[in-house]
Structure 1
Amino acid sequence: MAIERDLLRDRLDRATAHLDPPFAVVDLGALDTNAAALVDLAAGKPVRVASKSVRSHDLLTRVLRRPGWRGVLAFTLPEAIRLVRAEVSDDVVVAYPTADRAALAELAGDPELAAAVTLMVDDPAQLDLVDAVRAPGQRPELRVCLDLDASWRPLRGVHVGVRRSPVHSATAAGAFAATVAGRRGFRLVGVMAYEAQIAGLGDAPPGQALRGTVIRAVQRRSYRELLARRGAAVDAVREHADLEFVNGGGTGSLAATSADPAVTEVTAGSGLYGPTLFDAYRAWRPVPAAFFACSVVRRPAPGVATVLGGGWVASGPAERSRLPRPWLPAGLRLVGTEGAGEVQTPLTGAAADRLRVGDRVWFRHAKAGEVCERVNELHLVDGEAVVAAVPTYRGAGWAFL
């Protein structure tokens, strides 16, 4: 492993010798390897790409040209509209409900957009908001998807998973589907159930064997419960709607979710870049494909090398797992009292004394697409050369959250 990382460092250093840090790269060989592996894990079901985990028009297009990938799961309605207008996809599902009145007005005023974008809903108030923007008789029929809460509730008051939809039971799903069916101007075309406690939680956290055992036990029981509940919910919804798709999963649960007979498509995104949070999974670990480089600018003491910047911290709970990880050269670690700083990041470890002012340290981000909020472009590395520089959402002037 150490030798492979040394070779990777040498290759990335040679390919980007003409660039001044900080900058970010995507290794196309690793990206394509991950994209193929995710399709294999989906076992014949189409994979919808999660745009939040990619955040680059060009790379989304590259992935969608590959066999097995179809459609986009966007994170905001303005983003979905941009992706359709940029011809990235004509099948974009917005993963979260929206209250963006301007974007809703644009969607409701364009029949082609309305045919390409699917809104996420889980509350009649969201339908009311749409109607307040433009009444049913004054707009094309809008496509909607029901967000079924996939969290596990084994006991009263116990909630395992993220806090998403209020629609949790099959009965509630059927009742909501009946509500949508009774409303003019809406067509229920899909159901989504994202099992975050499985897909987004590593089952083998490093150095925490007992915690890993507990997580795996919880995930097994949660999966069995969801398998039955999701199937019943889909059946209940189909009594009121002609569903086009049932979406589930994420990179961390792709194989398990695709095995659910109720699911017709799965979603993945983070597995394309291979961020550090996915080092904690046993079933499948992506090849690291996205990195960012920082320059060593001083040596404040023996055994310490300090880089400029580096504090690209991921969202989520404020804990160490959200910090970027110094990856190349191998044998570096963050300093506990400083962590990853906005303007400087001191590093220690066996490799620190071998670093000199001007050398590069390559980091991996804890999450996938969030690295794109820090740079205007991604340098695409193929073998030992940078073959292109493509804009991130930020570089294209796309700011959605």
Structure 2
Amino acid sequence: MTQQADLDTATKGLDPPFAVVDLDAFDANAKELVRRAHGRPIRVASKSIRCAYLLERALGMPGYQGVMAYSLREALWLTRKWRDTPLADTDILVAYPTTDHAALRDLAADPEAARVISVIADSAAHLDLIDAALGVDHPKIRICLEFDAAWRPLPGVYVGTRRSPVRTSRQAVRLAEEIVRRPGFSLVGVMSYEGQIAGLGDNPPGNPVKGAVIAWMQRRSGPELIKRRSAAIAAIRGVTDLEFVNGGGTGSLELTSADPSVTELAAGSGLIGPWLFDSYRGFSPRPAAFYALSVVRRPAPRIATLFAGGYVASGTGTPDRLPQPYLPQGLKLLGTEGAGEVQTPVVGAAADTLKLGDRVWMRHSKAGELAERFQEYHLVRGDRVERTVPTYRGEAVNFG
């Protein structure tokens, strides 16, 4: 059977819109990420999954260790969900700064959570905020210092994500000393995310010139970062011991695993294989997550209109953030409408084969945000649904 026939058969009793995850593809992607990590453990980026069952599935595989959460409330929720389970000691790094006073108080009041959760700081102001939320005599809070991984080839030129202001060894040591000096804090780790490599494909469809420029940038950015990060980590280790040094993402596992200062990698999107990751030369994750929309109109030849489907990804607001028709092959979005809140027209010769009620299978641009649209994922293997599991949304939690 074809993939479309398998998906249609597995879900024939379901009414669109709904979402599925192909377990064979998810598991194959998980193994491929481990191969690309070259022996470094992978911390699972939860924002790219947003489904506890799939997080647990990945963490149960060889090569995976710990979670990179995107919200302190999320980290607290996972810690309590996994308490009294084999995942009770899972180390969770909250990789984005928090200003949530209530969540910080919750963390400080829960010794078991405080034992396994680390929060990000890239300035003394983050420490001040925690002190303000908890009082200066608060229990020890585990801190991970974030180091800037962006590329700055010339003054005023910044290539990468706008994250930490800590860029040099001197700045890193100064902050490390401040963290160690202050009561109530324990510096346990360092992270840096090379978004200009991990999150930027070097083979954008139909734009070879852009791809060549990106590849050129990445070839120069990578060695510069390894040299600068290695020096900073060595300097920080002169201040205090570190439990972990985290780096990378799905798109940069090979580069980051070559950095001797990094002890672990981060990845999540590569488990799901959203279509944004089709634009990388060096690896090709299998598409693992799809959503089905129903044909509700045939307004003209070569056009079929689908119900709903406007699940646009966060980011730059460019066409690469739109979902894409996947099956049947030969469909694309209509340029004048795109993917809509209540209807999504698709155009192409394959549209003439579609009848009212038929399904079109779509892929999201990014990995985790699809879970915010659906309360459950139907987990398929071949032509059957193996089980149905809740997403974060289906467990009535929403972390931003």
Mapped partners of 1:7, 1:124: distance in 2: 56
Name 2:172's counterpart in structure 1.
Answer: 173
Name 2:295's counterpart in structure 1.
Answer: 296
TM-aligned CA deviation for residue 310 of structure 1: 1.1
Written as runs of structure 1 = structure 2, the 5 A alignment for 1:276-315 is: 276-315=275-314
Mapped partners of 2:237, 2:48: distance in 1: 31
Mapped partners of 1:30, 1:349: distance in 2: 27
Mapped partners of 1:373, 1:110: distance in 2: 28
Deviations 1:67-93 (A, max 9, x none): 100000000100000011111552100
Deviations 1:126-180 (A, max 9, x none): 111111122343x321110001010011111100001000111111111110111
Written as runs of structure 1 = structure 2, the 5 A alignment for 1:167-316 is: 167-316=166-315
Mapped partners of 1:350, 1:231: distance in 2: 54
TM-aligned CA deviation for residue 248 of structure 1: 0.4
Written as runs of structure 1 = structure 2, the 5 A alignment for 1:57-76 is: 57-76=52-71
Residue identity in the other structure for 1:65: G
Mapped partners of 2:170, 2:57: distance in 1: 41
Mapped partners of 1:260, 1:54: distance in 2: 26
Residue identity in the other structure for 1:148: F
Mapped partners of 1:383, 1:351: distance in 2: 23
CA RMSD of aligned residues (A): 0.9
Moved more, 54-63 or 125-134: 125-134
Mapped partners of 2:330, 2:3: distance in 1: 14
Deviations 1:314-368 (A, max 9, x none): 0000111000000000000101000001100111112010111010000000000
Name 1:21's counterpart in structure 2.
Answer: 16
Deviations 1:287-310 (A, max 9, x none): 000000000011001111000011
Tell me the SS of whatever aligns to 1:191.
strand
Residue identity in the other structure for 1:62: R
Deviations 1:252-280 (A, max 9, x none): 01111111111100000000110011000
Residue identity in the other structure for 2:65: R
Name 2:375's counterpart in structure 1.
Answer: 376
Tell me the SS of whatever aligns to 1:37.
helix
Name 2:42's counterpart in structure 1.
Answer: 47
Name 1:3's counterpart in structure 2.
Answer: none
Mapped partners of 2:240, 2:4: distance in 1: 53
Aligned residues: 395
Tell me the SS of whatever aligns to 1:241.
coil
Mapped partners of 1:170, 1:44: distance in 2: 27
Name 1:126's counterpart in structure 2.
Answer: 126
Name 1:56's counterpart in structure 2.
Answer: 51
Regions of 4+ moved over 6 Å: none
Tell me the SS of whatever aligns to 2:394.
coil
Moved more, 123-132 or 156-165: 123-132
TM-aligned CA deviation for residue 52 of structure 1: 0.1
Residue identity in the other structure for 2:211: G
Mapped partners of 2:30, 2:115: distance in 1: 27
Residue identity in the other structure for 2:133: V
Name 1:112's counterpart in structure 2.
Answer: 112
Mapped partners of 2:381, 2:276: distance in 1: 25
Mapped partners of 2:193, 2:226: distance in 1: 12
Gaps of 5+ in 1: 1-5
Gaps of 5+ in 2: none
TM-score, normalised via structure 1 length: 0.97
Tell me the SS of whatever aligns to 1:45.
coil
Name 1:100's counterpart in structure 2.
Answer: 100
Residue identity in the other structure for 2:251: G
Mapped partners of 2:355, 2:291: distance in 1: 18
Deviations 1:169-216 (A, max 9, x none): 111111110111111110111010100000000000011111101100
Mapped partners of 2:378, 2:328: distance in 1: 20
The answer to whether structure 1 residue 391 and structure 2 residue 386 are counterparts is: no
The answer to whether structure 1 residue 80 and structure 2 residue 79 are counterparts is: no
Residue identity in the other structure for 1:287: R
Name 1:326's counterpart in structure 2.
Answer: 325
TM-aligned CA deviation for residue 369 of structure 1: 0.5
Identity fraction in percent: 58
| Residue 5 of structure 2, aligned match among 3, 6, 10 | 10
Name 1:400's counterpart in structure 2.
Answer: 399
